[in-house]
Amino acid sequence: MVQLPLSFFEECTFFMQIKSYVLAIILLLGINVLAACSEKKESDAPENGDEVQQEKTEGQAVSIQELIAELPEPSTTAEEYINAEPGLYAGKLYADLPTEEQEEVVSLFRELPKIGEEPTEEEIELYWRKTLSLLHEDYPNPADALDEVKIESFGSPELEDERFHFKEQLNVQIILDASGSMGNEMDGKTMMDIAKDSITEFAASLPEGANIALRVYGHKGTEKEKDKELSCSSNELIYDMQAYEQNALQQALSGVNPAGWTPLADAIEQAKNDLSQYNSESNTNIIYLVSDGIETCNGDPIAKAKELAGSNIQPIVNVIGFDVDSKGQQQLKEVAEAAKGIYENARNAEELKQQLQKAKDVADKWKEWKEKSINTANSNRLDQFLKNIPAYHIEWMEANRRENLNFSKPLIKLRDEGHISRDAYQQLIEKVDQRFSTGIEIGDQIREDLRALAEKNFEDAEKEINEIYRNNVENTDQ
């Protein structure tokens, strides 16, 4: 039989059937391949979860732990509070900072990884340590209260340290930082103008017979590298040791403007030379060093301070950190310690005047002593010590209050902009509240301890306080 060719319709139907069979085969093969791949993926997966996610989580934890290790541990005891390095913004209220400085604080937090919902303990610890490193206050040391007692008991023969005995002549030298940073404004005036006003007022209050000298440093050149040599060599006694003369002192001060670098070490050495003719046998010598920062001219101010303390002039050295940052505070405290002197913070014009007022009080006592109108043997150091305890406690509580106010402000900003979650913010605020309560408890306990020690004789109290606080502070690495 002859087979006739397929019609057009039949031919199309035939090829459509073939195409359907091919597509079915391809689809079946595809399903099998996918199933095989799926089985392989499941068989290769770790039993405890997704390997990629696990590696990511572990890597993140290590990174946070490394960041935590770079920051100091939180202070929890009295000794740790006192010994902790003050934060970059210690002594200032965050709310009073210029907008750009507030932004600087927040930007330092933004360098840390963001915290999402369900924050880990490590994430909270990291932010808490960062908070303390920036805003930890400079808490007062109870041992410093003893130094204040010595100043207030100046002239008493009960004091073993002969530097605190009145001699025939009283000499006061002020060493004033005139570096460029003294041009910064505070309450609408430059720090230099505030210092000039305070010094002028203090000098005018000195009793007849007392001498005053004024040395400035860093008052030439600029803060630029090209002027460093000129600025670092600018160290000048602009008012020789003599009685106060209003026009002469004002004229000397009028020519001083904040300019360049900070040759602090050289200033201390030159002050020693200025006073070299006034030996301690017949002269009571007091030096007030006012600085707003650290040495920037490659000198060693601590070594020079030790030389000053060991010289024949035997001065009482009062170092005043004028609106100084934590790094500056640390160096200036070491300078004061090396000079066997006292360090004090002055955060504003009023506090600078208060520090100079102490020198005026000494001068007034010296005048009375010269006139034989007081009996210095009646000076009771224990009474002075008891009087200082409330002031110490107030200073501690003010530091604790500033911390409490400052800690929350940048955290609120970070929460509102989404850098940390609300849960993380709440956990950090709980730490802020707990620290505030701890600070109050520690302050109250120190006050009671000081009262108990004050019932002993002064020498025993001084020894015990130094052993508990000053020695621990010196030997503890924080």
**Whether the predicted pLDDT of 182 surpasses 80:** yes
How far apart, in whole angstroms, are the C-alpha atoms of residue 329 and residue 324? 6
More confident residue, 402 or 48: 402
Q: Specify whether the CB–CB gap between 151 and 362 falls below 8 A.
A: yes
Across the chain, which distance is largest between two alpha carbons, in Å? 156
Q: Specify whether the CB–CB gap between 365 and 154 falls below 8 A.
A: yes
More confident residue, 329 or 54: 329
How far apart, in whole angstroms, are the C-alpha atoms of residue 450 and residue 44? 69
More confident residue, 147 or 116: 116
* 52, HSE (Cβ side, Cα atoms, 13 Å): 1
Three-state secondary structure of 318-378 = EEEEECCCHHHHHHHHHHHHHCCCEEEEECCHHHHHHHHHHHHHHHHHHHHHHCCCCCHHH
Average pLDDT, the chain: 83
Burial 352-375 (b: 16+ CB within 10 A, else e): bbebbebbbebbebbbbbbeeebe
pLDDT tens for each residue of 296-345: 999 999 999 999 999 999 999 999 999 888 788 889 999 999 999 989 88
**Whether the predicted pLDDT of 57 surpasses 80:** no
List of residues 6+ apart from 244 with CB closer than 8 A: 203, 204, 206, 210, 212
Query: Which pLDDT score is estimated for 266?
Result: 97
Mean pLDDT of 210-235: 95
How far apart, in whole angstroms, are the C-alpha atoms of residue 367 and residue 334? 32
How far apart, in whole angstroms, are the C-alpha atoms of residue 46 and residue 115? 28
Can you read off the two tokens belonging to residue 430? 């709980």
Query: Which pLDDT score is estimated for 109?
Result: 96
Q: Residue 119's pLDDT band (boundaries 50, 70, 90)? A: very high
Domains, in order of start, for the chain: 160-378 (3.40.50.410)
Predicted model pTM: 0.71
How far apart, in whole angstroms, are the C-alpha atoms of residue 402 and residue 95? 10
Query: Which pLDDT score is estimated for 134?
Result: 94
**Whether the predicted pLDDT of 466 surpasses 70:** yes
pLDDT tens for each residue of 242-272: 999 999 999 999 989 999 999 999 999 999 9
Query: Which pLDDT score is estimated for 172?
Result: 96
More confident residue, 25 or 452: 452
pLDDT tens for each residue of 271-299: 999 999 999 999 999 999 999 989 999 99
Query: Which pLDDT score is estimated for 181?
Result: 93
Q: Return the bridge partners of 346, or none.
A: 322
